[in-house]
Chains A and B, each alone.
Chain A
Amino acid sequence: MSDDAVSNYGAEPSAHIPEVQPIDAAAPLSEQTHAAEQASIDAAEAELASLEAIEPEQADLESVVAGPAAEEAIEVEESMHNVQSTVSIPRATTASSEGVFNDVVAEPGSSKPDPIVVAERIRRQFGGLVAVDVDRLEIQRNAITALIGPNGAGKTTFFNLLTGFDQPNEGSWTFDGTPLLGIAPHKVAQMGMVRTFQLTKALSRMTVIENMRLGANHQKGEKLVQGLLQFPWRKQEHENTIRADELLQRFKLDHVRDEFAGSLSGGQRKLLEMARSLMVEPRMVMLDEPMAGVNPALKQSLLEHIKLLRNEGRTVLFVEHDMDMVMEISDWVVVMAEGRIIAEGPPETLGQNQQVIDAYLGTHQGADLGEEE
């Protein structure tokens, strides 16, 4: 499967698999929409070009990301840790956040120049099993961070905790400076942190467009009385539908607009779930195994969509087992095993990290991985 994905990569997309070229398809859309949309698509097109010949032509974007505050943070960072272990490697594979991580130490709990999420001492126990025990994690804004680890490492539980779907036994975390402990999941979503699910949750007996419209937030018509009266929400509904149609076009789902979501293929459902989450206008998108069960052709398209999310200024955190995908699109990788974060770093360095290798191959045989350094 993954080999196919690699060999398909950059090749001529075959005619019957239209999903392979999402960016080109999105281009005509921009002609009729606002300038902001145009900018993001320009960035994406430039990125597409950079996939073959990797050149740092996105300096303008990265300076926006890294900002002045970032440099201060880096200085503090360096004084705090005696950088002896894995020294960060300059990166050129990804476009917009390239350089941001240059001075971030590749070790568990390291500080990031501009973190959107800061989690501290999060612990979740199920009976005697400690599913999650994270000392510290910072997630960099406007970057793609991958969360990997063997089965049962606590990745999805950690996801559930961050988004309020589960409550930890102890711990605290902030999203954009707001503490989220004890906040209900729907409020977390309203704040701009929106997740998808490992088992795709397309609302099957609703049409694709209704799935999309449901995602829009602050809908007047969702109040009982206003919903009954019709006129208070008609205009908003129209605007939401326009936005939904634009997203469907971008995700190449416009041809199934009026089909029931239950009739879509697995990959299309993943796309729908991602598109629907964008209706909430999130600042941070959390994807739980976006590639699971997706065919190689669609995979490439999904990858481009995820990169586009970052280029639009959003933060992406995703759980994934597909290492090709992790290597290709992530700016930073966090490795979990047995509930703890055992390593962090740029994707290229992971293969050399003994702890990561041990966690995946199991040579430690139950030793406490987190306190090895």
Chain B
Amino acid sequence: MNWALIFSNGLYAAVSANAVAYMLIASGLNVHFGNTGLLNFGQAGFAAVGAYGIAIPVSQYHWNPFAAMLVILVGAVLLAVGVGLLTLRLRSDYLAIVTIAIAEIIRIFVNGDHFKWLTGGNDGLQGFTRWMENASPFSTNGVKIWAQKIDGYRLWLLVSGWILLAIIATALYLLIRSPWGRVLKGIREDEDAVRSLGKNVFAFKMQSLVLGGVVGAIGGMWLVLDKQSAQPGDFATTLTFFAYTMIILGGVAKVKGPIIGAMMFLFLFTWVDSFLREATKTSAGKEPVLPKWLITDNNYAQVKYIFAGVVLAVLVAFRPQGIFGDKKEQAFDVR
């Protein structure tokens, strides 16, 4: 058992570029769910727009990456407006149904054979990160911190990702504390009351949907920059539910909630995975630590998902306000 590796894997997962991507996706969702009360179950769809918005133009058509970012922005706004026009006049349950459907449509579209020439289908798309690699100021050999090796590109993504996150989180913090954010909170509590005070609820919900969607799309872009490959499987509903787990872990409706929540979630998630990998490994003729009738190195990989599901269920049931949340303000609307 290499405990140093198990722990360093967990700690790195909590702060890596991949973690930053999750933090952005969850922060966008937190604007919808935590601040406005919009039950968006299709955040993976916004992330997919970000991922394929950079992958398709750069990989297939060799666009300038900054032009591709414009595609992401426009795509996320259009998706948000489309979803909003369809659902925002209905009850929030319908938003959940429609968003989950739209996210699945996007995933199945990019996964499909018919448009493989565009989206890469099941194989995904690669080769759209050269510009980012070239921009890296770090040596490609990277660094080794404790038991964790980090290559130069990932280190560059980590550092620039945290800078990007700091800028976005600060903007969200300022917005949520402004009168604009107050209207969103009011809508979360009771939209008819807000309407009776002369606020255009539909317009505010739409703005919230667009803002959170764009932040989520940026997160999706960061996710594929880190993986250096855009795969349809990464944008299944699991991504959305991970984002919900992160928000609830860290505390709903606080800007720091999804950031702290993602760190906790990814640490535990990766720790469990690394631990099981070490504990089922047959090395130097020795039997693995965990007995083979219970778990083997072939099937341990699913356990982390079971673990994640249990964490989400237990949290919602027993600590809906999150680990650090204020019960009075951040509880789920379970009444």
Contact = CB atoms under 8 A, between A and B. Distances in A.
Contacts of B186: 203, 206, 214
Contact of A205 (B175, B197, B329): B329
Interface string A171-202: 00000000000001111011000111100011
Interface size class of B (residues with CB under 8 A): 20 to 34
Interface stretch (A40-48, A217-225, A346-354): A217-225
A279 B197 contact: yes
Give the one of A215, A230, A276 with max B CB within 10 A. A215
A237 interface: yes
A228 B171 CA distance: 7
Contacts of B329: 205, 260
A214 B182 contact: yes
A221 B180 contact: yes
A280 interface: yes
A228 to B, nearest CB: 5
Nearest to B193: A201
A203 B179 contact: no
A277 B196 CA distance: 8
A203 B190 contact: yes
A213 interface: yes
Contact of A210 (B182, B198, B199, B211): B182
Nearest to B329: A205
A221 B204 CA distance: 13
A262 interface: yes
Contacts of A276: 197
Contacts of A222: 179-180, 183, 199, 204
A293 interface: no
A217 B178 contact: no
B189 A205 contact: yes
Interface string B149-183: 00000000000000000000001001100111111
B328 A260 contact: yes
Contacts of B185: 203, 205-206, 210
B201 interface: yes
Interface of B is mostly: helix
A61 B330 CA distance: 49
Interface residues of A, number: 42
B123 interface: no
Contact of A214 (B197, B211, B331): B197
B180 A185 contact: no
Contacts of B287: none
A190 B200 CA distance: 10
Contacts of B207: 224
Interface in B175-231: 175, 178-183, 185-186, 188-190, 192-201, 204, 207, 211
B328 A224 contact: no
Given A203-B185, A214-B183, A227 B178 contact: yes
A228 B198 contact: no
A275 B291 CA distance: 67
A186 B179 contact: no
A275 B211 CA distance: 32
Given A203-B186, A206-B185, A224 B180 contact: yes
A163 interface: yes
Contacts of B197: 186, 189, 194, 214-215, 217, 276-277, 279-280
Contact of B198 (A262, A263, A280): A280
Contacts of A233: 178-179
Contacts of B182: 206, 210, 213-214
Given A224-B207, A263-B328, A230 B178 contact: yes
Contact of A194 (B181, B190, B198): B198
18 contacts: A185-B196, A186-B201, A201-B190, A201-B196, A203-B190, A203-B193, A205-B328, A206-B182, A210-B182, A215-B197, A222-B204, A224-B207, A227-B178, A237-B179, A262-B328, A277-B196, A277-B197, A280-B198
Given A202-B193, A205-B189, A227-B178, 14 more contacts: A165-B196, A186-B200, A187-B198, A194-B198, A203-B193, A205-B185, A205-B329, A206-B185, A210-B182, A213-B179, A221-B178, A230-B178, A233-B178, A260-B329
The 3 closest A-B pairs by CB, nearest first: A221-B179, A227-B180, A227-B178
